[in-house]
């Protein structure tokens, strides 16, 4: 019996994260590249500004009443775009015209132009005479959420299945599988003597063997009272201790 899951219509969400900061030229790249140094020398008032753009596609699948979704993410390669911009332009003395033009070319939504511009202007303003590179990280996250709901009848089906299993267990009557009479008659009989065996009692009735009494040995070497093991083998063909099987 199988159960199906019915997904609701997925809903989407867009989110943007921006981080702007200034740092020395990354040490892993060594000294400032000659081309960049020449440009900075010619335009002392210029900043090297690098935009690093990345898109993250995220899928969140909610199953049943689970609060934690199954999440899958796929990130695009980082797109880097670098520019030389004057402090005048970064401080928005041109009313942000240059930055807005760059933002449009980088597909930054217009409603975020003001926020990103102010972040860049704040960094440029606090730089003083420093002309260390300015980095702008822009992360666009597109999330698709899907909720998998269980059909309304599923709980009823589960209850019905549990009822059938329970009734089947209640009605089950195990059928005894006795050992053959010939194999029982062929079992070894001998008289028990104290100290002749480490076993001192019958494991079926838990009574001690009397010295000189007759006992019966199974092929697996386990010893019992004759009447105890004969009665046992009428309903079960296995040794009570080790489950050694007798012929059936």
pLDDT digits (tens, 9 = 90+) for 84-105: 999 999 999 999 999 999 999 9
Per-residue model confidence as pLDDT tens digits over 19-77 = 998 887 654 444 445 555 545 544 557 899 999 999 999 988 877 777 788 888 999 99
pLDDT of residue 203: 85
The topology (CATH level 3) of 181-233 is Herpes Virus-1 (3.30.40)
pLDDT of residue 55: 94
Helices (H), the chain: 34-42, 87-90, 97-105, 113-126, 154-171, 181-185, 226-233
Residue 8 pLDDT exceeds 60: no
Per-residue model confidence as pLDDT tens digits over 160-195 = 666 766 766 666 566 778 889 898 989 999 888 877
Which backbone phi and psi does 39 adopt, to 5 degrees? -65, -40
Region 224-237: mean pLDDT is: 90
3-state secondary structure of 80: strand
CA atoms within 13 A on the CB side of 112: 17
Q: Could you identify the residue written with the tokens 């300015």?
A: 134
pLDDT of residue 178: 87
CA distance 134 to 120: 8
pLDDT of residue 238: 85
CA distance 70 to 64: 12
DSSP letter (8 states) at residue 28: G
Region 242-248: mean pLDDT is: 85
Domain with CATH 3.30.40.10 in the chain: 181-233
| Residue 39: Cβ within 10 Å count | 13
Per-residue model confidence as pLDDT tens digits over 113-127 = 999 999 999 999 988
Q: Could you identify the residue written with the tokens 């159960």?
A: 3
**Is beta strand 6-7 parallel, antiparallel or unpaired with respect to 223-225?**
unpaired
């Amino acid at each position: 019996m199988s159960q199906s899951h019915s997904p609701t219509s997925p809903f989407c969400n867009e989110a943007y994260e921006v981080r702007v900061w200034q740092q020395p030229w990354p040490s892993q790249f060594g000294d400032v590249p000659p081309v960049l140094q020449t440009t900075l020398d010619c335009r002392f008032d210029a900043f090297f500004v690098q935009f690093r753009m990345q898109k993250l596609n995220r899928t969140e699948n909610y199953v049943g009443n689970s609060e934690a979704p199954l999440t899958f993410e796929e990130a695009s390669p980082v797109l880097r775009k670098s520019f030389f911009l004057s402090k005048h332009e970064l401080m928005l003395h041109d009313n942000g015209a240059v930055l807005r033009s760059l933002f449009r070319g980088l597909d930054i939504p217009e409603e975020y132009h003001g926020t990103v511009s102010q972040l860049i202007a704040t960094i440029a303003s606090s730089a003083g005479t420093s002309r260390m590179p300015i980095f702008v990280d822009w992360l666009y996250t597109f999330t698709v959420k899907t909720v998998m709901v269980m059909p309304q009848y599923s709980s009823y089906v589960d209850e019905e299945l549990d009822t059938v299993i329970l009734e089947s267990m209640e009605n089950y009557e195990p059928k005894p599988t006795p050992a053959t009479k010939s194999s029982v008659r062929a079992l070894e009989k001998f008289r028990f003597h104290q100290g002749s065996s480490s076993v001192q009692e019958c494991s079926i009735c838990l009574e001690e063997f009397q010295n000189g009494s007759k006992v019966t040995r199974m092929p697996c070497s386990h010893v019992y009272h004759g009447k105890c093991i004969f009665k046992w083998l009428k309903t079960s063909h296995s040794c009570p201790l080790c489950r050694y099987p007798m012929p059936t």
